[in-house]
Structure 1
Amino acid sequence: MQAQSVSLFQPLRHQRFRQLWFANAAANLGTWMQTCAAAWTLASLTDSALAVALMPSAMYAPLFLFSLAAGLAADSFHRGRLLLIMSGVRMAAAAAMAFAVMAGHASATVVLLLTFALGCGNAFSLPAWQAATSTLVAHEEIGAAARLNNLSYNLSALLGPWLAGMLIEPLGAAPLFLANALSLSAMLWTCWRWSRTSDEGCAAPAGPAQPAADPSRRSSFNWTAFQLGIHSAWQARSYRRLLIQSGAIFFASVAYTALLPLFVRDTLHMEGSAYGMQMGAMGAGAVLSALLTARLRALLPAAWLLAGALALFGAVLILLPLLRLWPLPLLAALAAGLAWSLIVTTLNGQAQSAFPEALRARTLSVFILAVAGAQAAGAAFWGMLHERIGLAIALPCAGAMLLVCAILSFHLNIKEL
């Protein structure tokens, strides 16, 4: 097939996509450093398990609250200008967190509020970024572009936490927050240059350019278009089933990231460097998954892969409280990252292929809403459960829920939409 002959790096021949990809890679690295530093800072500021577990809630609640509006904005306005504004919001929030820590004004409330502000910038950036990919490269290169984006994210998930873990003890958290703010400067510059044009199509030096977006379609909010996106997503039976399934999966799986700082602090009795290594090992598992995914998909149906990944992640959550000998939690994190990447790419791939480009950003925003709402609620739930019954029971409960999801996924024989 023609799509299969496209090399992984071929989309980088398009100048605008290449510039945005490298800028986004830098921003991803800074975001992962920020995420790890903020989570460990929160664990250092308070003894409340609920407050620590609310870190993912602060990150994902904006996606739940604003994803529908963000999807409509991505379909209504120039995506370069939208990404420019949101990159500025994220940079300001990261810088504010750095200055709060340096001035000694950081508290659990301040960290959570500024994390929420960062999440707001991310919520309005995500649909625009995902939808822009298909308009910045040739049609046959969309799959390769998506894999490149996934590679950037996974490599950042490997390197960002590792760097944060290495630097947070000797330097403190503030320089890491500043590094995140600086990492967004390339995205600001690239989006500023893009925003000065009216073209949203492919800017390739070779190959046919896709037609520029109709300016009238990107001028203002349209309530009818907003309703159409929600209606289209919910009325499709297979898509509705995907939303429900994804909500249950992400509700359970967020227990790992929500409770991991508490596991490192209270069970392993280790410091921020160990937490960074744990998160970095999870990123390494995601990179390994990216390298194996194509071969695994050639051997197994998507439903089998999803069920296997869910079972593996569930087993990690069940066994993690028992793994107190230091190398073993790293191996568990590696397995969790491998399973997590398979879960995300399978579900996200189904969501992205369900509707045509004209509706893609809005219907993707419904998917993001379901996932983000489940993660925000799940993080708070597992934090409260930890305070009531402890980590040794809360994590296995989340793991058991994922095993149930694995059985149901296999039984229902979920297929790509």
Structure 2
Amino acid sequence: MIKTERITNTFRAFGNRNYSLFFGGQSVSQIGTWMQRTGVSWVVYTMTHSAFMLGLTVFVSQFPSFLFSLLGGIASDRYNRYKVLLITQIASMVQAVLLAILTYANHYRVWEILLLSGILGVINAFDVPARQPLIHEMVTDKADLPNALALNSSMVNLARLIGPALSGIILVKFGAGTCFLLNAVSFVAVIISLLLMKLPVYVTAPVKKKIRSDLSDGFTYLKNTSSIRIMMLMLGLISLLVLPYNTLLPVFAKVVFKGDAATYGYINSFIGAGAVISSVFLASVKPEANLKFILLINTIVLGVSLLLFSQFSYFPLAMFFAALSGFGMMCQTTICLTIIQVDSDPEMRGRVMSYVAMAYFGMLPLGSLIIGVISQKIGAPAAIFFQGITALIIAVSFYKYLRSDQ
């Protein structure tokens, strides 16, 4: 009986019909997204053999989200988030189709792939601020919200487990074009799920302020809300200095482990496996649990696992630490996002998430560019070793705040 209640508690957000539809559609789409992401990085690396170009690829694909995320947040707060999300999903599908056509033509250049990746970054700037707050509208019982957010992370990371593994196999057997085409097809699932939803009738809010005033209000709100401000700072530092370790995985696959595209896919999948376990763990955490203390522990786990991953060339052992890094990484980012969303006022949530997108999509591409340059000088293993040290320094720096409720 106790076990049954625990399982029910873990998946309680599925009692919300709209959220169940969203989860199902996004699960398929996210697998395609990870297939495309893996394919783009591998194609660029095999064409250039440059760690710097890997960093530049991430930078180009995500920095536009930083530039336009504030506008995306305003759009999320001013307009129907459901329609905004539907538009971004259709636009993302078109981008994947264009990438597939370009690759199948077999006359593509690196700059063309980077251009299409940049277009996707602009689309994501409007997608993320609409997607996350819309979950609040899908969940009728607000007590289920933390569980829905944790399950959302588990869905993303299950896709991270499956997508790269499939991508590695497809890259070897059929080529990158097939990865991109399958991603385009995967968007059909999420578009159908959105069309089947029955959300409350949208009431247009009167727009009384200019965009500049909305931006100023959002910044003032963050400045005056310490719990959100500190989580944003921690998320930004981790995104800039630690999370870009993913950028160097193609180098590990080809140089350290002497493998191919399938090897790269497997590394991503082990990280995804750890992230999936992390998401299930977070979904099972009781509402009264101290999330800040769990955040502290998993920031340390992330740092230690990166230190050890960087030092082993024996693939099975390295994959254990890769999975452990996925666990720590996902706990870290998910808890930061959960605290930020739960503590945000409903009327400010879109703008808050746009600042979150800036902290993540702004810092991560910059970090990827920096780590690409550093790796070019000192090598990928040494670069990831120092990223592990940095994670531990961040954990120590935020120790007092994260232990404040103990």
* Residue in structure 2 matching 1:388, options 364, 377, 392: 377
What is the number of residues matched between the two proteins? 399
Deviations 1:187-236 (A, max 9, x none): 23444566xxxx852xxxxxxxxxx4422348997543332122211333
Q: Which residue of 2 aligns with 1:140?
A: 143
Q: Which residue of 1 aligns with 2:3?
A: none
Deviation at 1:181, TM superposition (A): 0.5
Cα-Cα RMSD = 2.6
Q: Which residue of 1 aligns with 2:124?
A: 122
Deviation at 1:7, TM superposition (A): 4.1
C-alpha distance in 2 between matches for 1:81 and 1:347:
27
* Residue in structure 2 matching 1:87, options 77, 89, 96: 89
> Kindly tell me: are residues 14 and 394 of structure 1, through their superposed partners in 2, closer, same or farther at Cα, counting changes over 3 Å?
closer
Calculate the TM-score normalised by the size of structure 2: 0.90
1:291 alignment partner AA: V
CA contact (8 A) 2:157 2:272 kept: yes
1:160 alignment partner AA: G
1:40 alignment partner AA: W
* Residue in structure 2 matching 1:303, options 292, 295, 315: 292
**Residue 70, structure 1, aligned to residue 72, structure 2:** yes
> Kindly tell me: are residues 298 and 21 of structure 1, through their superposed partners in 2, closer, same or farther at Cα, counting changes over 3 Å?
closer
C-alpha distance in 2 between matches for 1:332 and 1:109:
34
C-alpha distance in 2 between matches for 1:82 and 1:294:
28
Deviation at 1:295, TM superposition (A): 6.0
**Residue 342, structure 1, aligned to residue 335, structure 2:** no
**Residue 232, structure 1, aligned to residue 234, structure 2:** no
Deviation at 1:108, TM superposition (A): 2.1
> Kindly tell me: are residues 220 and 120 of structure 1, through their superposed partners in 2, closer, same or farther at Cα, counting changes over 3 Å?
farther
Q: Percent identity between the aligned chains? A: 25
**Residue 113, structure 1, aligned to residue 115, structure 2:** yes
Where do residues 229-268 of structure 1 align in structure 2 (5 Å cutoff)? 229-268=218-257
Name structure 2 gaps, 5 residues minimum: 1-5
Q: Which residue of 1 aligns with 2:262?
A: 273
2:65 alignment partner AA: L
Q: Which residue of 2 aligns with 1:176?
A: 179
Deviation at 1:176, TM superposition (A): 0.8
CA contact (8 A) 1:303 1:410 kept: no
* Residue in structure 2 matching 1:360, options 343, 349, 364: 349
Q: Which residue of 2 aligns with 1:166?
A: 169
C-alpha distance in 1 between matches for 2:210 and 2:181:
34
Tell me the SS of whatever aligns to 1:324.
Answer: coil
Deviations 1:338-369 (A, max 9, x none): 11111011111121122211111111211221
Deviation at 1:270, TM superposition (A): 0.7
Q: Which residue of 2 aligns with 1:379?
A: 368
C-alpha distance in 2 between matches for 1:267 and 1:54:
21
C-alpha distance in 1 between matches for 2:12 and 2:287:
22
Name structure 1 gaps, 5 residues minimum: 202-211
2:365 alignment partner AA: A
C-alpha distance in 1 between matches for 2:326 and 2:305:
10
> Kindly tell me: are residues 242 and 335 of structure 1, through their superposed partners in 2, closer, same or farther at Cα, counting changes over 3 Å?
same
Deviations 1:239-277 (A, max 9, x none): 333222221111122232011111111221210101101
Tell me the SS of whatever aligns to 2:108.
Answer: coil
CA contact (8 A) 2:299 2:391 kept: yes
Name whichever of 374-383 and 291-300 sits farther off: 291-300
Deviation at 1:330, TM superposition (A): 1.2
C-alpha distance in 2 between matches for 1:278 and 1:411:
34
Name whichever of 112-121 and 24-33 sits farther off: 112-121
CA contact (8 A) 1:77 1:220 kept: no
* Residue in structure 2 matching 1:100, options 97, 102, 107: 102
Deviation at 1:73, TM superposition (A): 0.6
Calculate the TM-score normalised by the size of structure 1: 0.88
**Residue 293, structure 1, aligned to residue 295, structure 2:** no
